[in-house]
Structure 1
Amino acid sequence: MNSHLFPHIGKVIASTGSRHFPRMLHDLIRTQLAVDATHIRQMRVESVVARSEPDPATEAALLAETLFCEHSDALPPVPATTATDASQLHLTRRKDGYRYVISVYRNDQSERFSARERSLLQDISPVLLPMVEKHINALQPLDNDPQSPATTPESSGLETLRLRFNERLQQLGLKLSSRESEVCIGLLAGQTAPELAAQLQLKVNTVESYLKRAAIKLGISGRHSLMKWMYSPQHSSATGVA
Structure 2
Amino acid sequence: MKLIDSLEHCHDPHLYLQLGALVASTGDGTFAEQMLQLIGDQVPIHRLDLSEWTLDSDQASIRQVKVLGSAGHPEETPVQEPLRHPLLQSIMRMEDPLLIQINAPVHQCNLVSRSGNRRWVICCQRLRSERMFSLAELSLLKRLSDTLLPLVEHHAQLFLQAVNRRPGSLLPDDSGSLRQIFTERLEQEAVRLSAREQEVCIGLLTGGTVPQMALRLNVKSSSIETYLKRATAKLGVSGRHGLARWMAGT
Q: Secondary structure at the match of 1:85?
A: coil
Given the superposition, is the C-alpha separation of residues 105 and 78 from structure 1 closer, same or farther in structure 2, using an over 3 Å criterion? farther
TM norm structure 2: 0.49
Q: Secondary structure at the match of 2:125?
A: strand
Q: What is aligned with 2:69?
A: 65
1:111 aligns with 2:123: no
Q: What is aligned with 2:159?
A: 139
Q: Number of matched residues? A: 141
Structure 2 distance, partners of 1:41, 1:97, is 14
Given the superposition, is the C-alpha separation of residues 95 and 44 from structure 1 closer, same or farther in structure 2, using an over 3 Å criterion? same
Q: What is aligned with 2:52?
A: 42
Q: What is aligned with 2:117?
A: 97
Task: Please state how far the C-alpha of 1:64 moved relative to its aligned partner.
Answer: 3.7
On the 8 A contact 2:50/2:123 being kept in 1, the answer is yes
Structure 1 distance, partners of 2:146, 2:137, is 16
Given the superposition, is the C-alpha separation of residues 50 and 74 from structure 1 closer, same or farther in structure 2, using an over 3 Å criterion? closer
What do the CA deviations read for 1:38-71 (whole angstroms, capped 9, x no partner)?
01100113444678xx9xxxx9512342211xxx
1:13 aligns with 2:23: yes
Task: Please state how far the C-alpha of 1:76 moved relative to its aligned partner.
Answer: 3.4
Q: What is aligned with 1:76?
A: 77
Given the superposition, is the C-alpha separation of residues 73 and 136 from structure 1 closer, same or farther in structure 2, using an over 3 Å criterion? closer
Structure 2 distance, partners of 1:99, 1:73, is 24
Identity of aligned residues (%): 25
User: What residue ranges of structure 1 are gaps of 5+ in the alignment?
Assistant: 151-242
Structure 2 distance, partners of 1:125, 1:64, is 16
On the 8 A contact 1:66/1:78 being kept in 2, the answer is no
On the 8 A contact 2:55/2:64 being kept in 1, the answer is no
Q: What is aligned with 2:35?
A: 25
Structure 2 distance, partners of 1:129, 1:97, is 16
Given the superposition, is the C-alpha separation of residues 78 and 102 from structure 1 closer, same or farther in structure 2, using an over 3 Å criterion? farther
What do the CA deviations read for 1:63-90 (whole angstroms, capped 9, x no partner)?
342211xxx4673365577994000111
TM norm structure 1: 0.51
Given the superposition, is the C-alpha separation of residues 44 and 60 from structure 1 closer, same or farther in structure 2, using an over 3 Å criterion? closer
Q: Secondary structure at the match of 2:150?
A: helix
Structure 2 distance, partners of 1:149, 1:125, is 34
Given the superposition, is the C-alpha separation of residues 60 and 111 from structure 1 closer, same or farther in structure 2, using an over 3 Å criterion? farther
**Which structure has the larger Rg over C-alpha atoms?**
2
Q: Which amino acid aligns with 2:66?
A: L
On the 8 A contact 1:63/1:136 being kept in 2, the answer is no
Given the superposition, is the C-alpha separation of residues 60 and 115 from structure 1 closer, same or farther in structure 2, using an over 3 Å criterion? farther
RMSD: 3.0
